[in-house]
Amino acid sequence: MSTARGPLVLGLETSCDETSAAVIDGENRVLGHVILSQDEHAVFGGVIPEIAARAHLRKIDVVVDEALAQAGVTLEQVDLIGATAGPGLIGALLVGVCWAKSAAFALGRPFVPVHHMEGHLFAPSLEDPEAQPPFVGLLVSGGHTMLLHVPEWGDYRLLGETRDDAAGEAFDKVAKLLGLSYPGGPEIQRVAALGDPKKYVLPRPMLRRNQTLNEAAYFDFSFSGLKTAVVDLTRRVGHEQSVGAERPNIAAAFQEAAVDVLASKAMRAVEATQCDRVLLGGGVAANLRLREALSERLGAHGRLFHASPRLSLDNGAMIARAARFRYDRGDVSGFDASASAGLEFPGLRQGGIS
């Protein structure tokens, strides 16, 4: 049932520890949006999959109802329902997918499964209409680190990706090591602002000046070695003085190293593709130092796109936007579709330099 505002899309996000729902209209304006973060995991220093799934079950009805209320519409007025189908925690994903499929079936509406990382690519476009291809995409989240060349929506050319830990995972693990709370990204940023990033020098894994374009390592990432270097540093500092007193300096050194790697790889992609438009997506996109470094390196002639911190987090609005794109292409699924923790990125192909 289309409204005067155009076809309405309801998007659900339950891939990890945010239960989120959003309604967007025919012009991709966000009419209602709720993100409910789970605080059950803080005591564990990380997300416990079973606890996350149960929390989604308890909260999803309330979250959807509130998003619809904010939008001033009923569920019956929704024209299309999309949900994150992967990748992510399988139990958490199933909550959103099953809810969306059940509602779509009952209402006779189309159901569109959405790839979580494609949702992150669309997030900046909800706030900036110029955040459109072509661009170099840097996706940095708790589970993924990917460098893409995107000549157009749906055509994603993979340049590089992490070979071990994702950037967000490294932030979380280092935060835990330093005695900071979960999630680690915001805590590292907060504490690093009080420290000296030059007091300790940490390695920049897989970032060497003599690398060439034909090497896979030229665009790929690795953060496990950086994490290990922080472990060694805290042990060394601990033998000499209080780690607590040096926490800001260690956090600053780690953040600077991680940002340097991410920004340097992105700029390699800019040079190789001759595309000076960079779109930053994923939870780590909220990091102010990363945004600052990319803006500085792009200079006055380049352009950096990123969402607000709220839309950089896992959220239903980006899923609704990606669902509309997929629906417009005819990518509607049957009600036998399911979630997949290892869902393939649609439209992704190796090699982005042409």
Q: What is the pLDDT of residues 277-313, one digit of tens each?
A: 999 999 999 999 999 999 999 999 999 999 999 999 9
Question: Is residue 238, in this structure, part of any structural domain at all?
Answer: yes
Number of DSSP helices (H) and strands (E) in the chain, helices first: 10, 11
According to DSSP, the β-strands at 18-24 and 277-281 are: unpaired
Count up the domains in the chain and report the number: 2
Pairing of strands 30-37, 135-140: unpaired
**pLDDT of 10:** 98
Res. 2: pLDDT tops 70: no
**CATH code assigned at 26:** 3.30.420.40
Question: Token digits for 170?
Answer: 């490294």
35-61 tens-digit pLDDT: 998 877 777 777 888 999 999 999 999
Q: Which residue has the higher pLDDT, 261 or 182?
A: 261
pLDDT tier at 354 (50, 70, 90 boundaries)? low
Helix 184-192, helix 167-177: angle, nearest 10: 70
Task: Assess whether the previous peptide bond of 151 is cis (omega < 30° from 0).
Answer: no
- pTM of the model as a whole: 0.94
Q: CA-CA-CA-CA torsion for 174, 177, 183, 184, nearest 10 degrees?
A: -30
Tell me whether residue 3 is in a domain: no
30-44, 160-174, 333-347: the lowest-pLDDT one: 30-44
Residues 150, 109 share a domain: no
Across the chain, mean pLDDT equals 94
Q: Which of 120-124, 167-171, 347-351 has the lowest mean pLDDT?
A: 347-351
- Pairwise CA distance, residues 62 & 238, whole Å: 47
The answer to the question of residue 2 being in a domain is no
Q: Are residues 166 and 255 in the same domain?
A: yes
Check residue 3 and give its pLDDT: 47
Residues 140 and 276 in one domain: yes
pLDDT, tens digit, for every residue of 196-208?
Answer: 999 999 999 999 8
Order of strands, sheet of 30-37, starting from the edge strand that comes earlier in the sequence: 30-37, 18-24, 9-13, 80-86, 111-115
* Cα separation, 353 vs 156, whole angstroms: 11
pLDDT digits (tens, 9 = 90+) for 236-253: 988 666 788 899 999 999
The reply to whether 187 falls in a domain is yes
Residue 212 falls within a domain, yes or no?
yes
Hey, is 246 helix, strand or coil? helix
Give 215's contacts (C-beta < 8 A, 6+ positions apart). Answer: none
pLDDT band at 209 (very low <50, low <70, confident <90, very high): confident
Higher-pLDDT residue of 331, 38: 331
Structure tokens at 77: 């007025």
The 3-state DSSP class for residue 310 equals helix
User: What would the two tokens of residue 179 be?
Assistant: 């005695």
Judge if 91 and 154 occupy the same domain: no
Which structural domain, as residue segments, surrounds residue 280? 134-306
* Together in a domain, 80 and 170: no
330 vs 7, 119, 126, CA distance in Å? 15, 17, 21
